[in-house]
């Protein structure tokens, strides 16, 4: 890291950031001299009764927020924001539904589709009427086994307009992965596409859709849009999307909901079993997202937001929220590097993207390929580059400014599915330094704590949030008494949210993320649960035992699988290929290990659990933090200094 910034905001420009206007309003409301972002952030944390209502008004949420901004409680899970509010977030998403563009979609094969705000609203009206006729009521669950397409956005908004709850998985996910998720939420109806395109190939998914529906008996209707095949040849159990829509639907009349009523169920990574079902409120998540987008990313009406994501990832929900700021969302479905690294820059140039979001791994791949779009593409519209999924290296920061565009705000962000938002991220009032995330999010009391719960700076600590905020989950499904919820976030530090990331608070007030402090895998920025891999290994008789961990390697995390072969079996090329095939087929290509290595034993805790964290620490040359808790600590020696992990 260097003290010389890579970028400085030009606060004398004619168009100052929205955050400047918000800070002026906050100063007027509070009567305080808020001179800089640090002052504003401190005020937002200490005065939530004033900050969150002001954010609601400034960011343009539609609805009645009531007279009570917050009901306080010492237990953060029992704090209630806007308990009297009545709103439906779809009214915010679809406000001012005129002829301006709302969604621009490009598929890998070149298909382009554009919907105006009025066209999007009409599509939502037709789907909402059809869903109502299909028996979908407030609190029901609707699932999507879907690509990142305009129809997916419309299906989600139609679901939300009725007060129902949306969840989605990408079509490349295998049936086991999808069933693990959808069987827990028991959706009444499932939207799907009959295929997807990736890396120049078309993959049909009708068989997978049928298998998921057969294994999730709650699904009463399957609505499919043709992406790979012919809508006229759908199985009788499926209804074509165009047939399902109600042609003469009435004007949209969204059902008023409470601020805390659910909108999404997101899924954890499934580290120790089936993925946890994390329920998120409509009001809370939208308010948090528009604060992040408008105030931290300077997103304005007419801006064009692109984020490379699938419908498995929370960044899909985050991008779609940009509609509530009257921005255009630019969707892409397919391989972002097909036929080459230039593909997304072609898109950014053609669609005049103002906010360009990708993973840190993509920036790293661009650097390795010596990609220099500054010489080949017109990126004059681009103002903000967003990066998340894994820590962005200092070299990645430098590459963006040297080879992409020198006058952009590079907003590395860190948050999670857990809050459908960010803990730390960009700030248009602050400089960007090598390898550093700029600032904490407004309204969140972010800190780094050591094992004793003390706030630390300049050394590694746990990322925590010491106050409640609107986008905390409402609950986990199937979790009586909030037991799993509290164990997931509040077990380490009482009444303080622990996210599970290691980071350093820098001298600039920024943050450097060091990686996950739990056992979740994170290759290429995609969170993967180890249980999803173990489940496939259970089907292979030649595997007696196994442990899978993430190894920090080449500015990323790669999945490493250690296998104890069954008696009489050998981990040869044939068995390794069989393991990879089973995981790819039943989970996803992202679950496939980069390395498969034979070992004689697997370390376990005294309660019999696989000691993933201990193995991961050894593989990454870090001290093992809980050696005394292992039943067979000598087994860790089998994982130390392995030549296979050096390449």
Q: Rounded to whole angstroms, how far apart are CA atoms 623 and 616? A: 10
- Using the predicted structure, report yes or no on whether residue 14 has a pLDDT greater than 80: no
Would you say residue 13 lies in a domain? no
Q: Are residues 87 and 176 in the same domain?
A: no
Question: Residues 605, 631: contact at Cβ < 8 Å?
Answer: yes
Give the residue, 520 or 472, on which the prediction is more confident: 472
Would you say residue 271 lies in a domain? yes
Q: Are residues 443 and 564 in the same domain?
A: no
- Using the predicted structure, report yes or no on whether residue 487 has a pLDDT greater than 50: yes
Bridge partner list, 388: 359
How many Cβ atoms from other residues are within 10 Å of residue 462's Cβ?
21
Q: What is the pLDDT of residues 403-423, one digit of tens each?
A: 999 999 999 999 989 999 999
* Residue of 296, 177, 202 lying closest to 534 (CA atoms): 177
Q: Phi/psi of residue 543, each to 5°?
A: -110, 115
For residue 217, the domain's CATH number is 3.40.50.980
- Using the predicted structure, report yes or no on whether residue 586 has a pLDDT greater than 70: yes
% of the chain with per-residue pLDDT over 90: 79
Q: Where are the alpha helices (DSSP H) in 60-170?
A: 89-93, 117-133, 150-161
> Residue 163 belongs to what domain range?
115-244
Would you say residue 538 lies in a domain? yes
Would you say residue 504 lies in a domain? no
**pLDDT reported for residue 273:** 60
Out of 197-201, 513-517, 625-629, least confident range: 625-629
Collapsing DSSP to helix, strand or coil, 33 comes out as coil
Q: How confident is the model at residue 535 (pLDDT cuts 50, 70, 90)?
A: confident
- Using the predicted structure, report yes or no on whether residue 372 has a pLDDT greater than 90: yes
Q: Are residues 40 and 155 in the same domain?
A: no
**The most confident of 117-121, 270-274, 457-461, by mean pLDDT:** 117-121
Would you say residue 598 lies in a domain? yes
- Using the predicted structure, report yes or no on whether residue 270 has a pLDDT greater than 60: no
Q: Are residues 411 and 533 in the same domain?
A: no
Q: What is the pLDDT of residues 540-563, one digit of tens each?
A: 989 989 999 999 898 888 999 999
Q: Which residue, 457, 480, 503, sits at the end of a domain?
A: 480
- Read off the pLDDT of each residue in 595-623 and give the average, rounded to a whole number: 88
Q: Are residues 321 and 453 in the same domain?
A: yes
**pLDDT reported for residue 3:** 64
- Using the predicted structure, report yes or no on whether residue 4 has a pLDDT greater than 90: no
Q: Are residues 557 and 453 in the same domain?
A: no
**pLDDT reported for residue 588:** 86
Q: How confident is the model at residue 501 (pLDDT cuts 50, 70, 90)?
A: confident
Q: Are residues 222 and 336 in the same domain?
A: no
Q: Are residues 636 and 593 in the same domain?
A: yes
- Read off the pLDDT of each residue in 525-547 and give the average, rounded to a whole number: 83
Q: Are residues 189 and 156 in the same domain?
A: yes
Q: Which residue, 213, 244, 275, sits at the end of a domain?
A: 244
For residue 556, the domain's CATH number is 3.30.300.30
Q: Phi/psi of residue 42, each to 5°?
A: -60, -40
- Using the predicted structure, report yes or no on whether residue 13 has a pLDDT greater than 70: no
Question: Residues 89, 124: contact at Cβ < 8 Å?
Answer: no
Q: Are residues 150 and 292 in the same domain?
A: no
Angle subtended at Cα 58 by Cα 57 and Cα 64, rounded to the nearest 5 degrees: 15
Give the residue, 363 or 628, on which the prediction is more confident: 363
Q: Rounded to whole angstroms, how far apart are CA atoms 121 and 128? A: 10
Q: Are residues 433 and 575 in the same domain?
A: no
Q: Rounded to whole angstroms, how far apart are CA atoms 224 and 212? A: 14
**pLDDT reported for residue 351:** 98
Would you say residue 26 lies in a domain? yes
Would you say residue 425 lies in a domain? yes
Would you say residue 256 lies in a domain? no
The number of domains in the chain is: 3
- Using the predicted structure, report yes or no on whether residue 641 has a pLDDT greater than 60: yes
Q: What is the pLDDT of residues 46-83, one digit of tens each?
A: 999 999 999 999 999 999 999 999 999 999 999 999 99
Q: Rounded to whole angstroms, how far apart are CA atoms 647 and 632? A: 28
Q: Which residue, 460, 480, 500, sits at the end of a domain?
A: 480
- Using the predicted structure, report yes or no on whether residue 531 has a pLDDT greater than 80: no
Collapsing DSSP to helix, strand or coil, 416 comes out as strand
- Read off the pLDDT of each residue in 501-529 and give the average, rounded to a whole number: 81
- 141-145 and 112-116 beta bridge pairing: unpaired
- Read off the pLDDT of each residue in 471-500 and give the average, rounded to a whole number: 95
**pLDDT reported for residue 611:** 86
What does the mean pLDDT of the chain come to?
A: 93
Q: Are residues 82 and 164 in the same domain?
A: no
Q: How confident is the model at residue 1 (pLDDT cuts 50, 70, 90)?
A: very low
Q: How confident is the model at residue 628 (pLDDT cuts 50, 70, 90)?
A: low
Question: Residues 180, 532: contact at Cβ < 8 Å?
Answer: yes
pTM over 0.75: yes
């Amino acid at each position: 890291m260097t003290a010389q910034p890579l970028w400085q905001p030009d606060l004398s420009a004619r168009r100052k950031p929205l955050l400047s206007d918000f800070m002026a309003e906050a100063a007027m409301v509070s009567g305080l001299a808020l001179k800089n972002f640090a002052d504003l952030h401190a005020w937002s944390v200490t005065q939530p009764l004033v900050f969150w209502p002001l954010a609601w008004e400034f960011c343009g949420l539609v609805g009645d927020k009531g007279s009570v901004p917050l009901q306080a409680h010492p237990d953060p899970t029992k704090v209630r924001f806007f308990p009297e509010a009545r709103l439906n977030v779809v009214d915010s998403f679809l406000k001012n539904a005129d002829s301006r563009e709302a969604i621009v979609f490009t598929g890998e094969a070149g298909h382009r589709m554009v919907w105006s705000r009025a066209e999007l609203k009409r599509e939502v009206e037709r789907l909402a009427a059809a869903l109502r006729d299909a028996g979908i009521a407030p609190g029901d669950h609707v699932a999507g086994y879907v690509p990142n397409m305009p129809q997916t956005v419309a299906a989600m908004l139609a679901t939300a307009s009725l007060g129902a709850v949306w969840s989605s998985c990408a079509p490349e996910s295998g049936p086991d992965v999808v069933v693990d998720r959808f069987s827990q939420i028991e959706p009444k109806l499932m939207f799907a596409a009959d295929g997807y395109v990736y890396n120049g190939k078309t993959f049909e998914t009708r068989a997978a859709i049928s298998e998921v529906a057969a294994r999730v008996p709650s699904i009463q209707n399957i609505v499919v849009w043709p992406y790979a095949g012919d809508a006229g040849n759908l199985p009788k159990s499926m209804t074509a999307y165009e047939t399902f829509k109600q042609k003469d639907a009435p004007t949209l009349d969204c059902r008023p909901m409470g601020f805390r009523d659910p909108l999404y169920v997101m899924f954890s990574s499934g580290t120790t079993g089936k993925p946890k079902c994390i329920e998120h409120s409509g009001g809370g998540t939208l308010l948090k997202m528009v604060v992040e987008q408008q105030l931290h990313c300077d997103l304005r009406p007419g801006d064009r937001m692109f984020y490379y994501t699938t419908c498995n990832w929370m960044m899909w929900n985050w991008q779609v929220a940009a509609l509530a700021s009257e921005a255009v969302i630019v969707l892409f479905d397919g391989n972002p590097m097909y036929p080459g690294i230039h593909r997304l820059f072609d898109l950014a140039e053609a669609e005049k993207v103002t906010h360009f979001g990708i993973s840190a791994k993509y920036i790293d791949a661009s650097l390795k390929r010596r990609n220099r779009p500054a010489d080949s593409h017109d990126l004059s519209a681009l103002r903000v580059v967003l990066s998340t999924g894994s820590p962005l290296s200092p070299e990645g920061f430098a590459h963006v400014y040297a080879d992409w565009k020198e006058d952009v705000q590079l907003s590395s962000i860190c948050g999670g599915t857990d809050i459908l938002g960010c803990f730390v991220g960009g700030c248009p009032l602050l400089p960007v330094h090598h390898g550093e995330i700029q600032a904490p999010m407004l309204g969140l009391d972010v800190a780094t704590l050591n094992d004793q719960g003390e706030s630390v700076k300049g050394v590694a600590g746990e990322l925590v949030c010491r106050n409640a905020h609107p986008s905390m989950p409402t609950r986990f499904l199937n979790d009586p008494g909030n037991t799993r919820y509290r164990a997931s976030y509040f077990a380490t530090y009482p009444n303080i949210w622990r996210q599970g990331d290691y980071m350093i608070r820098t001298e600039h007030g920024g943050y450097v993320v060091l990686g996950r402090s739990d056992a979740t895998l994170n290759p290429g920025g995609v969170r993967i649960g180890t249980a999803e891999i173990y489940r496939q290994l259970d089907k292979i008789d030649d595997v007696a035992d196994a442990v899978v961990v993430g190894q920090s390697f080449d500015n990323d995390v790669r999945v490493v699988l250690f296998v104890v072969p069954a008696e009489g079996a050998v981990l040869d090329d044939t068995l390794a290929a069989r393991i990879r095939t089973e995981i790819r087929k039943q989970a996803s290509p992202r679950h496939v290990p980069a390395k498969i290595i034979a070992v004689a034993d697997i370390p376990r805790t005294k309660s019999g659990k696989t000691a993933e964290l201990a193995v991961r620490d050894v593989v990454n040359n870090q001290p093992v933090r809980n050696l005394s808790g292992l039943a067979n600590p000598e087994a860790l020696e089998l994982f130390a200094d392995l030549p296979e992990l050096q390449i």
